[in-house]
Amino acid sequence: MTTRRQVYLDHAATTPVHPSVLQEMHKVLETHFGNPSSLHFYGRAAKQHLEVARERVARLLGAGQQEIIFTSGGTEADNLAVMGTALSYQERGRHIITSTIEHHAVIDPCQMLARNGFEVTFLPVDKDGVVDPGDVKKAIRRDTILITIMHANNEIGTIEPVPEIGKVARKHGIIFHTDAVQTAGYLPINVDDLNVDLLSISAHKIYGPKGAGALYIRQGVELKPLIHGGGQEKTCRPGTENLPGIIGLGKAAEIAASEHLYESRRYKQLSDRLIQGIKALIPDAKINGHPEKRLPHNVNVSFRGAKGECLLVGLDQEGIAVSTGSACSSGSSQLSHVLEAIGLSQEEGAGTIRMTVGRSTTVDDIDYVLGVLTDLVEKLRRDQA
């Protein structure tokens, strides 16, 4: 009996835990159960491990160790950045600028604030999903207190002109946040080069565990906490720290900092092979996102006449795991807000899948996917004609 090939192409949704990360987490779970806030030996040992993880994350981002706050993940980090800034600076103004393609972890808190006395400007993007820094500049008002634009989009992979937007924000004295959940470990990140004041990352996107993330907070920026009840993490995120998860995040950050350039080059080669194969083998396929300024591991493509859900199921039956968009909004038959923002029709959006390569992906995997995908699209188009 032939074993079915298994190919995981959904690394933008989550990544497997790196063996070195798992090993370090096991060690902490077995030997360091102390509360980092306790003053005795067990607590001090736990605190030391916590600070090592903080330094590793800071090094990945080019930040100071004291500027890193640990959270439960990217969603909490985004919420803390958006709502914490709004609550802290609302006496100065109540206007926020963001884009129409942000992750819901940014869009939803912005909408909540809009229902509670704040004004939010949602900037459009072009057909490739790029925010124009000029539009950001035009949208600024005297009462603008926050600009939040993601570093790269989680669905279509487009990299945003964050350094340029950051210069605009800095010139006007406005706090600037970027969601870097999809870029940490894939693109070089330095908070000073990006001109950001706040930056969010998540462990499980960089081969760390779920349930851990971090927020970079530039020294001098004040955030109101969303959770109350303790003094941990400079009171910004009270509660006993998830030490094993944070240790895992720290180790994943260390690995990403040392290996991301090599891995990203390899990811791009694999993605390019996938894109070129699709263009050569499958007629009327549309690659979404910017053709050049895109994440090295992300391929988002629309197939007219083949529904995305049917593609996902058909590929899954052949051992290939992909996504019909963002895993955070899976299960919805509506056109995603990102695909709608870049002007895709309902038909194009309905036939869209996202494939994201990772550490385990090989050239043979890509060739296998191309063979299965070509036959599947042809069959679905014939059946749905």
- Active-site residue among 110, 236, 310, 328? 328
Other CB atoms within 10 A of residue 259 CB: 14
Helix (H, G, I), strand (E, B) or coil at 326: coil
Query: What is the tally of helices (H) and strands (E) in the chain?
Result: 12, 12
Give the DSSP H/E element, type plus range, for residue 384. Answer: helix 363-384
> Is-contact 164 189, C-beta < 8 A?
no
Q: Does 328 qualify as catalytic in the annotation?
A: yes
- Cα angle 227, 232, 238 (rounded to 5 degrees) comes to 10
Beta-sheet pairing, 213-217 with 285-288: unpaired
Distance, C-alpha 269 to centroid of its chain = 21
Check if the beta carbon of residue 195 is closer than 8 Å to that of residue 189: no
SS3 assignment, position 362? coil
Q: Please report which helix (H) or strand (E) contains residue 147, including its range.
A: strand 144-148
Q: How many CB atoms lie within 10 A of CB 283?
A: 11
Q: Cβ neighbours of residue 229 under 8 Å, at least 6 residues apart?
A: 238, 239
- Beta carbons of 120 and 144 less than 8 angstroms apart: no
Q: Which residues are catalytic?
A: 328
